[in-house]
Structure 1
């Protein structure tokens, strides 16, 4: 038996006596745009028809964090086949999700989208490793990230926490306003008594976003996380 999925429509292919029978599977029809989220639906279907294990072959970090979030609700053992050549490995994703816990998996999903993925912008020069280490050292921000996507609108307290975390990843842990941090960092780049001119050696892209840019970023992140959380 094989299942062929094209543009969200699934067909089961059964071979018997040299003939192939094709039957549509409406239970896993999906109008979701990306395979990243449709994979969750397919795994639920595999569990429903009796499979105990499933292997997802992908190099995509987006799918990795989405599956980490959903692994607790999928009634089979999920393995992630990733890498290539000597670096190819098989990860027991269900076991990893269990060891991390549901709350932290939700935190990682929110953090991953916030720090930049396919459809959300990243913070130039910050990457993911450094901000993740700061997140691990500051668990007070975990709840804000885990709450992203629970509702279609961002809660004011979540937005406030993520603004403060943005200040943290730019090295200003005592500040809570990105506009204040922008001003401080710009002053350091230009010099205390110098004026900003065309000849000033300033990389504005390395400043944190202003609040008027951060707010729609968080709103877009929230929308993306909401879609990921509703992948099933």
Structure 2
């Protein structure tokens, strides 16, 4: 809303008017819930979203806070506002907005509003409730999968996640349901035919996208520093092994151990090291390009003042935690059509609870060697050149290197879809642009 009314009652009317002024016979409004602890705790911290002072809306005449948008960062305020809307919309003065429409509001429960004999009637629909869903993104897709056959569904959003979740659940839509996304505003407004995009990309790739999107960085999971999504997407599209591995992540823990090895090889590829299948060896290769000895007897000298650890891929221990988090997120996104999308626990999938918040478990085990003896070759007399060095990319590097811990960037590099639809020419072009 460009102009926010002064009172909560008028805010309520304006929001409802915005939702119901379309020509659709059924309107579904979904809101986020705020679980505690939550896998979004880290993202809430980065955005400045928190549970500060409690807020109570006593009635429609109450004046809103002066800085309304800033107050929306207070989770308590947002929860109070949504609860007020649900109560206020059942008042009889709202009846004009419900004529010839059925409105569903999905929050902690699913509320159904409609006009009957000139009065507003509000009921609860347990079949359309999905209290196990934390995000509005998955709730939207859950409702889309409940729509009757031979229907047109239009989703208004500006979030990459919804497109990915929609593509990953297209096979669960009822017969002849056509799905569209409306993105952008004004001259930048665009419509994405998700059904046509699904046909263009194919079901196999679409089912791999939730896992891929979570793996390469999203609101819940850190990204690989400066690797983005466009090039990794190209690598994914060119490999049936990678597509199959990402598709199966949603079935964790009932997945083959080889999937971890395949995704490890995928990481080596996005770092430009296609000959490698082990991330630890890939790290050594990159490190050795700056710190290598031409002779085993040569004194170790640092040839550069600093070494940027962010250029290294994560070590095997870190990568395993990234894959576990990806499996958890993929389980939720790929099963958005279900009322209970996952039975997995975040504590077993790459997070740990600290002070009532879920934080990333970056790795397991010791970060550094427990003693110097673990990284020393005690006796060189019986070691020849082939034993003391490893062969990587036709170059020999010293096997003894320091272990440099890498933290992946927490920026998901996501951009507003509305700015990216200019390149909408084919299914592949659209997806590549969205992940750029």
Query: Structure 1 CA distance, aligned partners of 2:123 and 2:140?
Result: 20
1:196 Cα deviation from its structure 2 partner? 4.8
1:53 matched to 2:152: yes
Structure 1 residues 58-69: aligned runs within 5 Å? 58-69=157-168
Check conservation: 1:13, 1:22, Cα contact below 8 A.
Answer: yes
The corresponding residue for 2:129 is 29
SS in 2 for 1:90: strand
1:6 Cα deviation from its structure 2 partner? 4.4
User: Bigger shift: 146-155 or 205-214?
Assistant: 146-155
1:114 matched to 2:219: no
1:227 Cα deviation from its structure 2 partner? 1.2
Query: Structure 2 CA distance, aligned partners of 1:127 and 1:44?
Result: 31
The corresponding residue for 2:372 is none
1:153 Cα deviation from its structure 2 partner? 5.0
Q: 1:17 to 1:151 in 2, by over 3 A?
A: same
1:92 matched to 2:193: yes
Structure 1 residues 39-50: aligned runs within 5 Å? 39-47=140-148
Query: Structure 2 CA distance, aligned partners of 1:99 and 1:137?
Result: 15
Q: 1:196 to 1:33 in 2, by over 3 A?
A: farther
1:149 equivalent among 250, 270, 275: 250
1:180-227 per-position Cα deviation (integer Å, ceiling 9, x unaligned): 111111122x34246459x63321122100001000110110111011
1:124 equivalent among 208, 221, 225: 225
Check conservation: 2:211, 2:329, Cα contact below 8 A.
Answer: no
1:182 equivalent among 271, 275, 283: 283
Q: 1:166 to 1:54 in 2, by over 3 A?
A: same
1:154 Cα deviation from its structure 2 partner? 4.7
TM-score (norm 1): 0.91
1:212 equivalent among 317, 327, 339: 317
1:86 Cα deviation from its structure 2 partner? 2.4
1:8 matched to 2:108: yes
Check conservation: 1:13, 1:23, Cα contact below 8 A.
Answer: yes
Q: 1:177 to 1:86 in 2, by over 3 A?
A: same
Check conservation: 2:106, 2:129, Cα contact below 8 A.
Answer: no
Query: Structure 2 CA distance, aligned partners of 1:201 and 1:230?
Result: 45
Check conservation: 1:153, 1:219, Cα contact below 8 A.
Answer: no
Structure 1: stretches of 5+ with no match in the other structure: none
Q: 1:66 to 1:25 in 2, by over 3 A?
A: same
Query: Structure 2 CA distance, aligned partners of 1:77 and 1:160?
Result: 38
SS in 1 for 2:138: helix
1:230 equivalent among 330, 335, 340: 335
Query: Structure 1 CA distance, aligned partners of 2:151 and 2:106?
Result: 25
1:53 Cα deviation from its structure 2 partner? 0.6
Query: Structure 1 CA distance, aligned partners of 2:334 and 2:305?
Result: 45
2:305 equivalent among 178, 197, 200: 200
The corresponding residue for 1:221 is 326
TM-score (norm 2): 0.50
Query: Structure 1 CA distance, aligned partners of 2:184 and 2:302?
Result: 47
Query: Structure 2 CA distance, aligned partners of 1:182 and 1:224?
Result: 27
Query: Structure 1 CA distance, aligned partners of 2:183 and 2:302?
Result: 48
The corresponding residue for 2:48 is none
Query: Structure 1 CA distance, aligned partners of 2:270 and 2:255?
Result: 21
Check conservation: 2:142, 2:336, Cα contact below 8 A.
Answer: yes
Q: 1:45 to 1:33 in 2, by over 3 A?
A: same
Q: 1:173 to 1:213 in 2, by over 3 A?
A: same
Q: 1:80 to 1:67 in 2, by over 3 A?
A: same
Query: Structure 2 CA distance, aligned partners of 1:79 and 1:8?
Result: 26
